[in-house]
Amino acid sequence: MKYIFLKRNESALTYLLLHGTGGNERDLIPILDMIDPSANVFGVLGEVSEHGMARYFKRLSEGVFDEEDLDFRTDRLHEFVLSKCQEYGVDLRKLVILGYSNGANMAQSLILRHPHSFYTVVMLHPMNVKKNVAFEDLSHMKIFISAGQFDPICPIEETDVLEHRLKAAKAQLEVSVLNTDHRITYEEVMNVKKWIENMMPRA
């Protein structure tokens, strides 16, 4: 897998950056720099190409995921992330998954299939992955979701369903809904920054 790892501070958090459709492993670095400029960077490029646009898994049509490919890609990414975290000495308790759109959906799939590997997740504009499959106990996990009230790609109803599923799994959850669409806004980035500062206090 193609990736970037920038170790900026040995004691800082490390962010696993998962881009949206058509993005790359560096796309979310400017966002991260606003959230936590001292953080270590671990960006991974999606391996699937959809009309030349990078994604983390295939889809059959808009909003319809190829679930067999999703499972395969999720397990493959999970193995890769754990391998690189071991190689770079990253404590999984200090790893934050930050995913946007398709990357947020992959983040969700990671915690659905491998809930005990991760502890902190930020999902920007996620849909629902396998909405009829219940999450395991996520009481150890801190999760922040940001959504747009007028998002045409991830309707607000998707957010409501995902919130219900995660609450049922006992995740430590915060959901922020803004009067915006599918774009990442400065306001939501600042909301993530505040949440991280409250949930992940520095030593």
| pLDDT tens digits, one per residue of 13-58 | 999 999 999 999 999 999 999 999 999 999 999 999 999 999 999 9
Q: Is 38 a known active-site residue?
A: no
Whole-prediction pTM: 0.95
117 as an active site residue: the answer is no
Residue type, 100: Y
Annotated active-site residue 151? The verdict is yes
- pLDDT score at 203: 46
Catalytic residue among 36, 101, 109, 146: 101
CB 160 within 8 A of CB 191: no
Task: Provide the pLDDT for residue 200.
Answer: 76
Joined tokens for residue 87: 């190689």
In the chain the domains, ranked by start, together with CATH numbers, are 3-199 (3.40.50.1820)
Q: What is the pLDDT confidence band of residue 105, given thresholds at 50, 70 and 90?
A: very high
| Among candidate residues 23, 4, 27, 13, the one with its CA nearest the CA of residue 193 | 13
When pLDDT is cut at 50, 70 and 90, the band that residue 188 belongs to is: very high
State residue 202's pLDDT score. Answer: 58
Give whole-number Cα distances, 12 to 38, 129, 193, 197, in Å: 7, 30, 14, 12
Q: What is the mean pLDDT of residues 141-165?
A: 95
Which one of 19, 109, 146, 151 is the catalytic residue?
A: 151
Average pLDDT, the chain: 95
